[in-house]
Amino acid sequence: MLVLQLANNGNLRNYLRNKQVEGVYKISWAELIRIASDIANGLKDLHNKCIIHRDLHSKNILIINGRALITDFGISKQLNDTTSSSSNKGGIPAYIEPQCYLQHENVKRDQRSDIYSLGVLLWELTSGIPPFYSFPDQAIIIKISKGEREKIIKNIPLNYANLYSNCWSSNPD
């Protein structure tokens, strides 16, 4: 018998969509920061256990009683796993770090892969929409490969914008 916790608020993507009121995205900073902290702390716990998620996006974050939980570890790996292959590019293109698209040889994804995805999620929390939502996957891959990122959302604290900009930098070191 398997017992699972009910995700009463669904995934983060749907949760943010439900925050749209008459075309205007409304979320309090307290709520946004709580969700961002939950995701960052969950990711920190994974990385402390030498696990890289490799598929971190808003459909893999569940909201339970207002708290965010990382889910779907289907393509996760132990950091010391020496496997590197083109299958490392699994996931949703807008959340995958540019190095996976730029390097012709196989890329070994590590914690920086998840940090890039975290930056995209932090941006998504301020916008209420998925990154590059109006573009097909191939166009998103080209944009990310060229260093394009979504625009900084107006009227957000500079420190928060700098945080997600640093996370999704093309030079993650």
Enzyme catalytic residues: 55
Joined tokens for residue 119: 């930056």
Where b means 16+ CB within 10 Å and e means fewer, 147-159 reads eebbeebeebeee
User: Diameter of the chain by CA atoms?
Assistant: 49
**Helical pair 111-127 and 29-48, crossing angle rounded to 10 deg:** 170
Q: Give the integer Cα–Cα distance in Å for 102 and 109.
A: 13
**For residue 118, which amino acid is it?**
L
Query: How many Cα atoms are found within 13 Å in the side-chain-facing hemisphere of 111?
Result: 14
The number of beta carbons lying within 10 Å of the beta carbon of residue 168 is 23
Q: Give the integer Cα–Cα distance in Å for 100 and 115.
A: 14
